[in-house]
Amino acid sequence: MADSAKRVLFVNSEIYPYLPETPMSRIGRYLPQGIQECRKEIRSFMPRYGCINERKNQLHEVIRLSGINIVVGDVDRPLVIKVASISAARMQVYFIDNDDYFRRKQLAFDDEGNFFADNAERTVFFARGVLETVKKLRWAPDIIHCHGWISHILPLYLKKSYRDDPIFSGSKVVTSFYDDTPSAPFSPDFARLARFSGVDEGDVCLLSEPTGINLAKLAAQYSDGVIFSAPDVDGQIVSWCEGLGIPVLPFDGAAMADGTYVAAYNSFYDQL
């Protein structure tokens, strides 16, 4: 970027304390705070999974941002936006909600360990819900940083469906990869479900075989930079990313342990 990034949008699968503490949820919690302390403006989004206690975490609906309908698979579904605050970090978290997709208590698998049949629809709804909400906020991000498989369709939409929108015309997208790549396949019609304004069949050809690996490859293909945020990212994803010719930030266990990864990520944003 010609100048340092000033605004960073975080699109998260998990944020602690709304979900149990994991390496990904810790990054979801502490990276935005660290970037904010680097004097950047931040916004954070995640799904409003049914296991999140709204009363305990003081979530409330933002009426002015809700009310959009998003069509996924020819079905109109209402988008509801909720918000909560992490007072210790002086930051808000926006939640993408819809009863059909996010009311269930589990994140991606049912109690018998089956991958949800509608996970392809959920990722499409989540990504478009985030982008439509940011448009309503009229907040133009310099960097959009995606974390977790449920955010992996967003880079495609940013580069194809929203590229001419003035809110996103200057946005660069970074994707962090973890060890959360689903091994179970998505719905066979994922490529069709992913089609949206500006996205044609050729743009989603990777999804003709709708695996988690191919979804991750799609995310990297439309990203401006990638970060390996875990030590055990699938080797197929690593090789694909390294072959794209885009900036790659490797995993640094020591930096992750002592918190200096925040400075490295901040510098990575500024170099895009």
Alpha-carbon span 154 to 70, nearest angstrom: 15
* C-alpha to C-alpha distances, 80 to 65, 67, 68, 72, 98, nearest whole angstrom: 8, 7, 8, 15, 6
b or e along 188-227 (b: 16 or more beta carbons within 10 Å of the residue's beta carbon)?
eebbebbebeebeeebbebbeebbbbbbbbbbbbbbbbbb
CA pair distance 210, 185, nearest whole angstrom: 6
C-alpha–C-alpha distance, residues 53 and 180, integer Å = 23
Structure tokens at 51: 């296991």
**Ranges under pLDDT 70 in the chain:** 1-3
Is pTM, for the whole model, over 0.75? Answer: yes
CA distance 213 to 122: 17
Tracing tokens 């944020």 back to the chain, one arrives at: 15
pLDDT value at position 197?
87
The structure tokens 């931040």 sit at: 42
Cα radius of gyration (the chain): 17
pLDDT of residue 3: 63
pLDDT at 1 (0 to 100): 47
Burial label, 98 (beta-carbon count in 10 A; 0-12, 13-18, 19+): buried
